[in-house]
Amino acid sequence: MLKSLKGNIYFVLTLRLLIIYFLYSFCRIIFYLNNLSFFSGIDFGSFLYILYGGLKFDTTAIFYINLIFILSQVIPFKFRFNPGYQKVFLIVFYVTNAIGLLANFVDIIYYPFTLKRTTATVFSQFANENNMASLLFRFVVINYWYFTLLLISSIIFMILANKKISSVKLLIKNNLVFYIVSIALFLLTIGFVIAGLRGGFRHSTRPIAISNAGEFTQQPSEINLVINTPFSIIKTLGTEPLKIVDYFKDSIALNKIYNPIHNPDSNKQSFRKKNIVFIILESFNKEYLGSFNKNLDGGKYKGYTPFLDSLKSVSLSFNNAYANGRKSIEALPSILASIPGIKEPFILSYYSTNKIHGLGELLAKKGYQTSFFHGAPNGSMGFTSFTKMAGVAHYYGMTEYNNDADFDGMWGIWDEPFLQYWAKEMNTFKQPFFSTVFTVSSHHPFELPDKYKGKFPKGTLPVHQNIGYTDLSLKEFFATAKKSEWYQNTIFVITADHSSVSTHPEYKTSLGAFAIPIIIFDPSGELKGTYDEPVQQIDIMPTILNYLHYDKSYFAFGNDMLHRNSSAFVAQYIDERYQIIIGDEVLKFDEHQAPELYNYRDDVLLKHDISKRKRADKERLETNLKAFIQQYNQHMIDNSLGVK
């Protein structure tokens, strides 16, 4: 039978696609093995089921990527058997599938930093990077050469395996029979392709989506094992806008539960014209700070930030703080405008052109000079445009720094000289001022200036030495700032853009993956102590405005960290689900699965769902989350991120 199929164009097409299926499954296995610590608890049977489920998502991706090639092989004309025609489309086959394999291999490396497969926003996210060539060279040739070799080997395997397949031949000589059979098989193939693209044959089946992968998993994070990166990118192209939800018919009842409109305190106190300085640290997981983790490793854990640990002891610190996203591009809207990234980063979302009223704008109305400093090439990550949207008047990037001798060769100016530059520039500002810096040096590929190589503890992750370097850079910045006359009249807010790679299991859960430090340092000594209630990045803006006694109503999705009420919450979106944290509990929720409730203080690894025995708590958190979702969606859709 196989001998009779030799040279059959449909049989050859099937074999070629099966080669790609095999390589996608191979990528999935490597993805799992390289990120094993993020997928604990998967036994052999469960993993086989994940591999099985992955075939469904591989089918969609492979059919999309090979659509042109498939059609070229089944169109009912004889010229498709021409050797020249076959060579051209075989090149198309190699190129398109090599790109698909490349996408899968990139996420094998990138997943620990984002905890999700790459989506279509990657094209916008890196659209303004002027040094992409050097970044790719560093990633591909230097840092991850072994994965590059594995990718090249996979592509070579694809080519060699195809060469083993017999060339196609015209097997039906009779013209009438040829066209009848060809048209019938063409229509049949089109039907199979449409079903593969949609994820099923039934007319009632909705097109397959990322969330469908939950059918083959035990934990939401395992969805990233089931799907593949081309599928993730394809399915997030042209992301649909948010939908209006009506969990609460009565707007008054809704606003009583949660209202993003903040009104000034009735006790009219004079506005405090203090300088406000934000320090946003690249990839500073809370795990890296010893002072936030005194119980780790049996109390022996020291961390990698001696200066920040000393600063925390004389500051107001929040021991239970979280980012609202997992990417740098999600941090700025959260911190500067109290707008979290839900489902996709606000900057890249359907609503990125909405009118916002950020902290820069509100403080500028009070006479503040506003500025933002980022040592990367100007325009990187879309920060230039967003800070302008948020009302920040002056942007200082690599162009303004104007000394490429301090360029790290990858992301921007080393933290140590750039923070010194920032301190000196603030000496020229008229008070009061609001200024933010976003550091760059604690970022992959984790290089250090030559004079500091070997000077910091290596720890267990490559990033740990860079955390030590940035910590030293902060120490030197504060030593310089302390000599300035504006220093005593300044409130410093220190936080991270997002969490990053970690070693301890409690920082690898869906909750721990967002854990960051938030420290407020007041040189006058007025703000001190520790808070254990859950807080988040979007709470920073209302906290500062309320502390300054801002006397106008304003819009913010967050809450004042210093004056928490019983309904104050932390909200995030991960693995196609919302999660909300209130008090000691976290609720995971979407519209298709039963809500899960965990006591994250007693159950740090989130292993024990208590929703059935804590029904009242589950309903309370679900009510608050639904109020947040309704307000968020409605205000985004209505473009009403402000006060009328």
- Domain shared by 505 and 408, yes or no: yes
pLDDT at 203: 45
Write b or e for each residue in 568-586: b if 16 or more Cβ atoms lie within 10 A of its Cβ, otherwise e.
bbbbbbbbbbbbbbbbbbb
The answer to whether residue 296 sits within a structural domain is: yes
In a domain, 357, yes or no: yes
Residues near 604 by beta carbon (within 8 Å), at least 6 away in sequence: 506, 509, 512
Integer Cα distance of 224 and 209 in angstroms = 12
- Highest mean pLDDT out of 201-215, 261-275, 478-492, 567-581: 478-492
- Residues with Cβ within 8 Å of residue 161, at least 6 apart in sequence: 19
The per-residue pLDDT for range 247-261, each reduced to its tens digit, is 999 999 999 999 999
Q: Is residue 638 part of a domain?
A: no
CATH number assigned to the domain comprising residue 370? 3.40.720.10
Mean pLDDT for the chain? Answer: 92
Residue 297, domain member (yes or no):
yes
* Domain co-membership, 437 together with 524: yes
For 482-568, where are the E strands, in sequence order? Answer: 490-496, 518-521, 529-531, 535-536, 554-555
Question: What is the per-residue pLDDT for 384?
Answer: 86
Would you say residue 205 has pLDDT above 70? no
Residue 204 is predicted with a pLDDT of 42
If asked whether residues 480 and 389 sit together in one domain, one would say yes
Residue 268 lies in a domain: no
CA distance 126 to 381: 6
Q: What is the mean pLDDT of residues 586-610?
A: 93
Distances (CA, A) of 76 to 4, 11, 89, 170, 612: 21, 15, 16, 12, 59
Domain that holds residue 398: 279-555
What was the pLDDT predicted at 125? 65
Same domain, 172 and 88: yes
Residues 398 and 512 occupy one common structural domain: yes
Same domain, 209 and 284: no
Asked whether residue 431 falls in the same domain as residue 286, the answer is yes
Mean pLDDT of 117-121: 82
568 belongs to a structural domain:
no
Structural domain contains residue 250? no
Q: Give the integer Cα–Cα distance in Å for 236 and 118.
A: 10
Burial class, 83, CB count within 10 angstroms (exposed 0-12 / middle 13-18 / buried 19+): exposed
Per residue in 269-295, pLDDT tens? 899 999 999 999 999 999 999 999 999
pLDDT at 1: 57
Asked if residue 503 and residue 365 are part of one domain, the reply reads yes
Determine contact, residues 398/442, Cβ cutoff 8 Å.
no
Position 268 pLDDT exceeds 80: no
Q: Assess whether 283 and 227 both reside in one domain.
A: no
493, 276 in Cβ contact below 8 A? yes
227, 290: one domain: no
- Write the pLDDT tens digit of every residue in 301-319: 999 999 999 999 999 999 9
**Boundary-marking domain end, from 494, 524, 555:** 555
> Of 181, 216, 235, which closes a domain?
235
Among the residue ranges 55-64, 169-178, 505-514, 517-526, the one predicted with the least confidence is 169-178
Contacts of 596 (CB under 8 A, 6+ apart): 587, 588, 589, 609, 611
Let me know whether 26 and 144 are in one domain.
yes
Query: Last residue of some domain: 487, 520, 555?
Result: 555
CA 78 vs CA 5, 193, 523: distances in Å:
18, 21, 82
What's the rounded Cα separation, in Å, for the pair 383 and 372? 9
- Alpha-carbon span 150 to 561, nearest angstrom: 48
Helix axes 415-426, 463-481, angle to 10 degrees: 20
**What pLDDT shows up at residue 202?**
55
**Coil, strand or helix at 437:** strand
Rounded Cα distance between 3 and 12, Å, is 12
d(C-alpha 340, C-alpha 357), whole Å: 14
**What is the full DSSP assignment across 280-315?**
EETT--GGGBGGG-TTGGGGT--BS-HHHHHHHTTS
Residue 270 lies in a domain: no
Number of domains in the chain: 2
Cα gap 364→433, rounded to integer Å? 9
What is the reported pLDDT for 118?
86
- In DSSP notation, 211-261 reads GGGGGG-SSGGGHHHHS-HHHHHHHTTTPPPP----S-S-HHHHHHH---E
Share above pLDDT 70 across residues of the chain, in percent, rounded to a whole number: 96
* Backbone CA torsion sign across 578, 582, 587, 592: negative
Q: Over the stretch 430-480, which tens digit does the pLDDT of each residue have?
A: 999 999 999 999 988 899 999 999 999 999 999 999 999 999 999 999 999
User: What whole-number distance in Å separates Cα of residue 249 and Cα of residue 252?
Assistant: 9
From the list 384, 357, 368, 365, the residue with the least C-alpha distance to 276 is 368
Same domain membership, residue 322 and residue 470: yes
Q: Identify any residues that bridge with 579 across adjacent strands, giving them in sequence order.
A: 572, 588
Whole-number Å distance between alpha carbons of 121 and 115: 15
In this predicted model, which residue has the larger pLDDT, 344 or 641? Answer: 641
pLDDT band at 4 (very low <50, low <70, confident <90, very high): low
Question: What's the start-to-end Cα distance of the chain, in Å?
Answer: 76
Q: Indicate the pLDDT class of residue 209, thresholds 50, 70 and 90.
A: confident
Cα gap 318→303, rounded to integer Å: 17
- According to DSSP H, which parts of 115-250 are helical? 121-125, 132-137, 145-163, 175-198, 223-226, 229-235
Q: Which of 586, 550, 486 is nearest to 220 (CA)?
A: 586
Identify the pLDDT of residue 124.
67
Q: In this structure, what DSSP letter does residue 347 have?
A: G
Check residue 410 and give its pLDDT.
Answer: 86
Pairing of strands 518-521, 490-496: antiparallel
